[in-house]
Structure 1
Amino acid sequence: MRFFLLPISTRRTLLYCQKIQVLPKDKQTIVDKAAVRAAKLWSGWEKKEAGWQKKVVVYGNYLLRRIHFEEWGLKSVPPLSTKRREEEVLGKDKNLLIYPEDIIPTKHAINVLRALGTDREPLHRSRLIWCLIGMPISAPFALVPVIPNLPFFYLMYRAWSHWRALAGGKHIRFLCDNNLLSLSPSPALNSIYTPLFNRATTSKESTADIGETKPLPDNKSKISDEEALLLSQENGRQLVRALEIPELEVELERAIWQVEDAIQKEREQKAKPPDTTKTK
C-alpha cells in the first residue's frame, strides 16, 4: 500500500491510501462484496432521469459530500485482517509513506500519520454507537409502501462508515507502532507544494527552523494565527496528474471544498462585530 500525506491548508492534511493490489472477487469479504453491490445500485439510480430514486441520489450525494474528508481518508485504509497482519510483519506487503518533505519534515511524518489515524477515534466510536441505537428505532419505517426505509439504510451506511474509519485507524496505529512503513519523500509533491506554501504563509523563518510548525492534522499550526488554504481545485488536479492516481481527484475535490468552506465561515465569524447588548 501507499499512504499519502497531502496538506490541504496550513493546518489540515488529507490522508489517502492507495491499494496496489485489488483482491479478486473470490477473496473479497462479505462487507467488500456488499459495498461493491451498493455502489452499482447507486450508480444505476444516478443514471435515472427522474423519479424517487433520482431524488434520493441527489440528496444522498449532498449528504455524502459533507462527510468529513478525514473520515473518507481513514476509510481508504483497508481493515487489518489476520492474514494482512502476518504479511506485513513478514515484510511481504510493502507499505510506503509518501509526503512533501519541504512541508512535512521526515522526522514528523510518522507522527502526522499516527495523529490522522487516532485523533478522531472517540468521535467515530461514539457516532457508531448512536447509529446502532437509531437503526432499530427507524426500522418501523419499512412499513411505508413502495419507498424503501431510507432512514434505516442511511444509519446503516453511517454505522459501516464509522466502523471502517475505526478499522483504518487501527491499521495505521499497527503500522506505526511496529515500524512497518518505509518513508518516501516525494520530489513531485515538493515541486507543487513548496511555492504554494511560501505564498500562503507570512512567516519569515527558514524551512529548517520551523519544523514543528508545518501543517499538522491537529490544527495547531504555529505558522500564523489564521489558517491559509494551500490547494485550489486547479492545482489539486495538477497534483492528481503528477501522482497519476485518477481516483484521488474526488477525494481532493471534496477536501478542498470542505476546508475552503470552513476557512470562509471562520473568517466571517471573526469579522462580525461583537455583540454589545447585555441581557438583564
Structure 2
Amino acid sequence: MSHIRSLKNQLSLRINSFSSKSSQNALTSKNKTHLLISKGGNYSTIYSNTTRKVRADTKINSSTIVSSNPNPNNNPNNNTISDINNNSIKKYLNEPIKLIVVPISKDKIFLYYKHADSFLNINSKLIKYETILTKKATKFWNNMEKSSKNINRKIVGTVNRLLNRINWTENSLITIPSESYILKRVSSTENNMKITLQEYLRLKKQSTSANVATTTELKLNPIKVYYPGSLITPKQIVKDCNELWKDGLKQHQKNIITCLITLPLTLPLAILPIIPNIPGFYLLYRLYCNVKAYLGAKHLKTMCNEQNGFRFKFVDLKEYSAIFNESEHLQKKNFKLLDEETLARIVDKLEVQEIKGQLTKAIRQEKSLKENNTETKKKKTK
C-alpha cells in the first residue's frame, strides 16, 4: 500500500509540473505575440489564437493597440476614423513650419507659408525696422478708415478698389517670408538645432571646404506640404510652385522698377499742406508689397531646388480631403472653382482664418475671369 501511495504522489508531482510549464509557455506565447504587435505585426498574428479571420497582409500601427490580450472589443479595426483623423490634425497643428495648399481652381493653387513665431529671426535689424514701420502704416490706415470726413472715405474706397484688382498670386507669395527671416531646422550627426541663414551657409561652407576636416554632416529638415490628396497630386503641386516663383520673380521685379521710377513724381504733393500725398503713400506701399512678393518668390525657388538641400515632404491630410469628397461638384472630375461656403469650412478646419480675406479675393477674381472668358467666347461665336 505504501508503495502504491508513493507512485501516486510522484505521478501527481509530474502532472503539476507539466501544468506549470504549459501555463508558462502560454504566457510566453502571449508576450511574443505582443512583441510582434509592437513591432508592426499583422492581424493574422494578433488573432492567431482566436477563431476570428483577418487578412494577413493588413498592417497596423503600434499606437492603435489598447491591450496585449486580443479580443473583439480591443480590435484595432474598431477604432473610430475620427480618432485617427484627430491625431493627423493635431500633428498638422503642431508642425512649426509648413506649406498649405489651397486649390482655387482646376489649375491654380494658393500656397500659404505658415510658421511659428519662435522660428522668426528676432535678432535681424531688418525685421525690427519693418515691424515698426508696418505698425505705423497700419495705424495710419486704420485712422483713415475710421475717419468721418468724406474725402478720407473716398480715398479709402478708391485705394481698396485698386488693391482688389491686384492679382491674388501676389498675396500668396507675400505669405512666404524672405529666407533670411526664418531660422533653419538643421539636423547633424551630433544634434538638432535652429540656426540663421548666415550661420547655415557658414557651416555648410566649412563642411565642404577641403582645408577643414569635419565629421559633422548638415542636413536641412524637410518642409511638410499639406494638401487635399483627393483633388490634387504632389506632381501638380510642384509644377504649380515652379510656375508661381518663375512668374513672381519676373512680374514683381518689373513692378519694383515701375514704383521706383514713379514714386519721385509724387514728391511735389508732399509740399502741399492741405492735401496728403496719397499717391505717394500708395506707391510706397506697392513698392513694399512687390519687394515682399519678390523675396517670397526667391525663397520658394530655393525650396523647390533640391540641389540646395531643400525638399518637400507631402502630407495628404485626410480630413482636408474629406471636405472635397462630400460634394459632387468639388470632386476631382467635376472641380472647376472653389466656392466661398467650402472656403469657410477649410479655414476653420485648418485654422487659417488669417488668410480668409485673401482666399476670398482669389475666388472672386477667378470667378470674374471665367465669366469674362465665357462672354468673350460667346461674342466670337455670334
Fold match (TM-score > 0.5): yes
Quote the sequence identity (%).
27
Q: Within 1, Cα distance between the matches of 2:108 and 2:260?
A: 30
The whole-number CA distance in structure 2 between the counterparts of 1:93 and 1:160 is 30
CA distance in 1, matches of 2:378, 2:276: 45
Q: Distance in 1 between matches of 2:167 and 2:100?
A: 17
The TM-score normalised by the length of structure 1 is: 0.79
Give the C-alpha shift of residue 241 in structure 1: 0.9
Normalized per residue, which structure has more helix?
A: 2
Distance in structure 1 (CA, Å) of the matches to 2:362 and 2:159 = 18
Q: Verify the 8 A CA contact 1:103 1:193 in the aligned structure 2.
A: yes
TM-score, normalized by length of structure 2? 0.59
Change (3 A) 1:148 1:125: same
Residue from 250, 270, 280 that aligns with 2:377: 270
Residue 188 (1) aligns with residue 319 (2): yes
- Following superposition, the deviation at residue 46 of structure 1 comes to 1.4
CA positional deviation for 1:20: 2.0
Matched, 1:33 2:109: no
- 1:119 maps to which of 238, 243, 247: 247
Which residue does 2:329 correspond to in 1? Answer: 199
The answer as to whether partners of 1:229 and 1:259 remain within 8 angstroms in 2 is no
1:172-225 deviation line (CA, Å, top 9, x unaligned): 1112213243322221221123455x526895xxxxxxxxxxxxxxxxxxx9xx
Larger radius of gyration: 2
Whether contact under 8 Å (1:229, 1:260) holds in the other structure is no
Match of 2:215 in 1: none
Flag the 1:260–1:82 CA change in 2: closer, same or farther, 3 A.
closer
> What secondary structure, in the 3-state scheme, does the structure 2 residue paired with 1:8 have?
strand
Q: Does 1:244 align with 2:244?
A: no
Quote the residue 1:164 is aligned against: 292
1:22-101 aligned at under 5 Å gives the runs: 23=120, 28-81=127-180, 84=183, 86-87=195-196, 95-101=223-229
Mapped to 1, the partners of 2:355 and 2:332 lie a distance apart of: 29
| Structure 2 spans left out of the alignment, 5+ residues | 1-96, 185-194, 201-217
Deviates more, 1:141-150 or 1:260-269: 141-150
Letter in 2 for 1:74: L
Larger RCO, structure (CA 8 Å, separation 6 or more): 1
> Which stretches in structure 1 are left out of the alignment for 5+ residues?
204-222, 276-280
Distance 2:313 2:293 in 1: 23
Aligned match of 1:212: none
